[in-house]
Amino acid sequence: MKKTVRIFWRIFLVGFGAFVGMVLLANFGVFGKMPSLAELENPSILQASEVYAEDGTLMGKYYTERGNRSNVKYMDISKHVIDALIATEDERFYSHSGVDFKSTMRAMLTAGTSGGGSTITQQLAKALLDQGSKNRAWRVVEKLKEWIIAVKLEKNFTKEEIITLYLNAVPFGNNIYGIRNAARSFFQKEPDRLNVEEAALLVGMLKGNSIYNPVRNPKAALERRNIVLSQMEVNKKITPAVAAKLKATPIKLNYKKLDENTGYAPYFREILKSEIKEALKDVEKPNGGTYNIYDDGLKIYTTINTQMQEYAEEGMAVQMTALQKSINARGDFKTGSIWKGHEKIIEKAIKESDRWKNLEEDGLSDKEIRASFNVKVPMKVFAWNTKREKDTMMSPVDSIKYSLQMEQASFMAMDPVTGEVRAWVGGINFKTYKNDHVNLKTKRQVGSTIKPFLYTQAMEERGFTPETECENVAQNFGGNAWVPSGKKCGGGTMSMANALAFSKNCATAYIMKQVGPKQFADFLSRINIPTKVQPYPSICLGTCDLSMYEMLWGYTIFAGRGFSTKPYSISRIEDRNGNVIKRFDFSVNRKEAVSEVTAYTMAKMMQGTVDKGTARGLRSRVGAAEMGGKTGTTDDNADAWFLGYTPQLLAGSWVGFEYTFMRKPGRW
């Protein structure tokens, strides 16, 4: 044997041995942990948890930066997506065993100019290993690991399972992962509805989801889509005639990315997070761990009714647009005099703003930062238009005033018998105003909406009836504690039914005198109002602070035949595989609070409010055969409430400013 031949074989054998050694070392985890067979059979790719409405409509998702995925089954992926992917990324997908050595050698000899050498299976392995080093030497090691995992995947999965795993894992840019999210975001479709050109566009993005993003780079995306169509033609997935026709078709997008600010009931979804965490704190995963709502792919089925939610949001927009227009016309708002004596509120908002913090980090002095807040700059601010924002030139300090001068509102609807929440609107715009005015922690003075509870107790425990005559005079509760404090009353007497219908404060104070402040405060606890109300005599007029959530909880006793029913919003929670891990039963949240007779009598009395009282005519305008309710306002109309119900639905609304001094006397 010639010397040169011997040298060649020695080099070859040493190289081959080194290669085999590297493969073995990689397989045994020397270069980093390798997933076990069990982990490959159940890949733990981060997956977003999804929130669904009562009718199965996707409302929104919870996810981390890398976890915005929604898995889909092979049967639910359009055939055009599969054809486009194989034709473009891996023509011999069905014939190789994970590694296509022909393509690998071609890529090595041409330095990648004639295409890459990675198969779909290898790309999946790369995603499972979360690899992609820019160091060339280390990338060689990563390639070996990908080969090993690719072979294992081919051994343990069918081709259909591999391609499904791959399409559920790949990134499409803009923090969009997986074919389902891509189809929903770019076309507002499920992946099984994608047509040929849509499938080609999405598959084309896989070569470079930023370069070929149709939103940012439509021209490059179009060219790449047409390359994919050509590949589909070459591989006989579409005819030349179809390819030519589709290449001449412009890109038609319907782009709308689902994030925390979009979708149904964003205020509700934000509050729901804590409820889910509480519900699952004692539920273990099969591996003994705890569930994470951001990356475990949970499916949360809620009681929200999408039609009611849409009506609630649309109704609020119509009413608040008109209301804000009249508010903006007020002289003290136009001149800015509304802020006289309240400058500390503005200064506090300035120093808590992101702009202040960012400039502070840049090293500017407090004086320089404060001066910059008086300089007009381009910005987007909230507006009552279709986009809920507008471009304008405004100084940052004026934008703060502008934002605080927006009147706020909230609305909640529920089934009074089961407690199922049907609609939840926590504010006028979640993107701009995060404070939720429905939830348990946000409390406002409730005004006269508290009176039905007092009247209920008077009937239940003191023998009152709707015909009981009540003194319409101010009441003294000892010392100089007069209720109402102004002592302005009409005098005489009136029936308790009329006192409620016309919301008479003096007659209510008389009833409070018969019941007793401490007894009334205790009664509020007995009907399950969570907040502990202090037994001041004035609480009968609603001087206490309670939340919308609590008030509706309390009002369930009227339409619920005397039962107090806690509002609830989750029907069940499933894991990523569709297994139910938690069910919810409304019956455990029901408690008898007053007799059915008292509840029925109060329901009839509260019909007087919407027929002839402070909300007169409302029942006829709504078209309800039976309806009860109560209005409520606080000093200078700082808070305006209405709580109303039919036998099937209980709802509440509130309107007011974040700062009560901004409201002036006048009608809502």
The pLDDT tens digits for 557-588 are 999 999 999 999 999 999 988 899 999 987 77
User: What's the token pair of residue 296?
Assistant: 């475990």
Other CB atoms within 10 A of residue 432 CB: 16
d(CA 149, CA 155) in angstroms, rounded, equals 10
Other CB atoms within 10 A of residue 523 CB: 22
pLDDT at position 101, please? 58
pLDDT at position 668, please? 39
Contact 633, 639 (CB under 8 A): yes
**CA-closest candidate to residue 85, choices 204, 255, 187:** 204
- Residue ranges of the alpha helices (H) in 76-217? 79-89, 101-109, 120-129, 136-156, 159-169, 179-187, 196-205
Whether 602 has a pLDDT exceeding 80, the answer reads yes
Mean pLDDT of 615-637: 88
Q: How would you class 286 by CB atoms within 10 Å of its CB: exposed for 0-12, middle for 13-18, buried for 19 or more?
A: exposed
Residue 577, C-beta contacts closer than 8 angstroms, at least 6 positions apart: none
Q: Can you say how many angstroms the Cα of residue 110 is from the centroid of all Cα atoms in its chain? A: 49
Contact 285, 291 (CB under 8 A): yes
Q: What is the dihedral of CA 581, 586, 587, 589, to 10 degrees?
A: 110
Residue 257, C-beta contacts closer than 8 angstroms, at least 6 positions apart: 174, 176, 185
d(CA 135, CA 529) in angstroms, rounded, equals 62
Whether 613 has a pLDDT exceeding 70, the answer reads yes
Name beta bridge partners: 471: 493
Evaluate the CA torsion angle 416, 419, 420, 426 in order and state its sign.
positive
Mean pLDDT of 325-335: 89
SS3 of 202, please? helix
Mean pLDDT of the chain: 87
* 369-408 pLDDT per residue, tens: 999 999 999 999 999 998 899 999 999 999 999 999 999 9
Query: For residues 171 and 200, which has the higher predicted lDDT (pLDDT)?
Result: 200
Of the pLDDT bands very low, low, confident and very high (cuts 50, 70, 90), residue 531 is very high
SS3 of 348, please? helix
Q: What are phi and psi of 412, to 5 degrees?
A: -145, 140
Mean pLDDT of 101-128: 63
Q: What are phi and psi of 342, to 5 degrees?
A: -125, 25
d(CA 291, CA 62) in angstroms, rounded, equals 13
Query: For residues 112 and 414, which has the higher predicted lDDT (pLDDT)?
Result: 414
pLDDT at position 66, please? 62
Residue 411, C-beta contacts closer than 8 angstroms, at least 6 positions apart: 312, 315, 316, 423, 424, 425, 438, 651, 652, 653, 654
Whether 42 has a pLDDT exceeding 70, the answer reads no
User: What's the token pair of residue 234?
Assistant: 């070459």
d(CA 618, CA 442) in angstroms, rounded, equals 28
Looking up tokens 């500017």, which residue turns up?
364
Q: How large a percentage of the chain has pLDDT more than 70? A: 87
User: What's the token pair of residue 591?
Assistant: 């408690």
Contact 633, 503 (CB under 8 A): no
Give this prediction's pTM.
0.79
Amino acid at 483: V
Which of 66-70, 205-209, 520-524 comes out lowest in average pLDDT? 66-70
Whether 18 has a pLDDT exceeding 60, the answer reads no
Q: Measuring CA to CA, how many Å separate 439 from each of 525, 573, 609?
A: 18, 21, 26
Name beta bridge partners: 109: none
User: What's the token pair of residue 613?
Assistant: 């009282």
Contact 607, 626 (CB under 8 A): yes
pLDDT at position 405, please? 93
Which of 278-287, 404-413, 563-572 comes out lowest in average pLDDT? 278-287
Whether 78 has a pLDDT exceeding 60, the answer reads yes
Whether 107 has a pLDDT exceeding 50, the answer reads no
User: What's the token pair of residue 597?
Assistant: 């007779």
